[in-house]
Structure formats: C-alpha cells, structure tokens
Chains A and B, each alone.
Chain A
Amino acid sequence: MNTEQNKALARDLLKAYDEGRMDDMMAMHSPNAITHMSGQDNSNDAMREVLGMFQTAIPDGSHTD
C-alpha cells in the first residue's frame, strides 16, 4: 500500500471508532498488531478493551481533522 492508501486506512479506522463499529475497527488491525499504550498490555484485546472503555465513558466522542 502507498502513503495515501495508508492514510485512507487510518481515516477509515477513526470513522469506524466514531461510529461505534468496533468489529470493523479491529478488522483493520493485523492479528499480530502491537499497541504501545502507556501502562497497558500491547495486544489487540487490550486495545479493544481500552477503546471500549472510552466509548462507554464518552459515547458521542468523535475525531476531527
């Protein structure tokens, strides 16, 4: 994939999060993805848990440019 395709993937990922489509968001990650979150396990499961926590706490949260 080229740079613009990578950017589009990242935007799609944020859109999926904003729309609460967690399964779609996780499908955009490699099964072996490593998430470097401070103080957290670096697995996809841990990322899903943390992001789910944000969605629960801020259900109408969204990303802007």
Chain B
Amino acid sequence: MDDQAQQNKDLVLRMIRAVQEGGNLDKLDDFFAPTFVDHSTFSGFTPDRQGVRNIFQHFQDALSGLKVEVLSQVSEGSRVMTHKILYGMNNSPLFGIPASNKMIRINVMDMLQVQNGMITDHWNVVDQVSLMKQLGVLPA
C-alpha cells in the first residue's frame, strides 16, 4: 500500500471514531467535502453532506452507546473499503420501526472515495435482512 492509500485509510478510521461512533457531528465537515455525494442513500435521507449528518444522528438516537467495530479495511488509490459492525441498544425507533429494546448489530461494507484529504463519495451494502430479523420485521 502506498503512502496516499495509507493516509486515506487513516482518515476514514479517524472519521469513524470521531463522528460515526463518537457522535461529534460538529467534526463532520472536517472529513466530508462540501460536494460530497452519497450513492447509497437510506430512504428519507438526502444524498449530500447534510444527509450524512442526519443519518449519523439517527443512529446515535436509535442505538444508545453506539460502537463501531472495524473488522477489516482495504485501501487502494483513492478508495477505502471498510467492513464494520455497528452495534448499540435499540431503545428508540430505527428507520420508523419501533424500538426493539435489544442490542442490535448492523453488518456494513462501505466504500469511500477520498480526494485531497476529504471524503467525496460513499457507497455501501448493509445486511438489511439480518437487521430486519433483529428488529422483528422479518421472522428470525
């Protein structure tokens, strides 16, 4: 891995710890470019930087004590791929589904594009079947 790829990977990890897990949403603009585009927007959220702020706040509200376990990261060129698990106590509605009052684990693989030290694009795949089973929407 070259130096740039390593720096991009470090940037993404710092963002996860400070903003996604830590909930310091005032730091979000330090990581996400003003022109940021989300290519995997959740329903009801806008595909821009404000949308990221809103979805991160939603996870903070819905999953108390939110933690992000990073299982692996791969960085090449300007892209960083992360396999991670978000988990927390679901004691507030999540995506409009009533609180399960259970510990919820959300399995995520995402890819971020980094340009000039800022995140410009995002794609992800979320294990929604497992999530819906945990929330009681699908049979376990």
Which residues of A are in contact with B by a Cβ distance under 8 Å? Answer: 3, 38-39
- Cβ–Cβ contact A38 & B130, under 8 A: yes
Chain A-chain B contacts (Cβ-Cβ < 8 Å), number? 8
Beyond contacts A3-B76, A39-B133: 6 other A-B pairs, Cβ-Cβ < 8 A, are A38-B107, A38-B127, A38-B129, A38-B130, A39-B129, A39-B130
**Chain B: interface size category:** under 10
CA distance A38 to B127 in the complex (A): 8
**Chain A interface mostly:** loop
CA distance A3 to B46 in the complex (A): 35
CA distance A38 to B133 in the complex (A): 11
User: What is the chain B residue whose CB lies nearest that of A39?
Assistant: B130
Residue pairs across A and B with Cβ atoms less than 8 A apart, 5 shown, are A38-B107, A38-B129, A38-B130, A39-B130, A39-B133
User: What is the chain B residue whose CB lies nearest that of A38?
Assistant: B130
Q: How far is the CB of A64 from chain B (nearest CB, A)?
A: 13
7 residue pairs, one from A and one from B, having the closest CB atoms: A38-B130, A38-B127, A38-B129, A38-B107, A39-B130, A3-B76, A39-B129
Contact residues in A for B107 (Cβ distance below 8 Å): 38
The A-contacting residues of B in range 76-121, CB under 8 angstroms, are: 76, 107
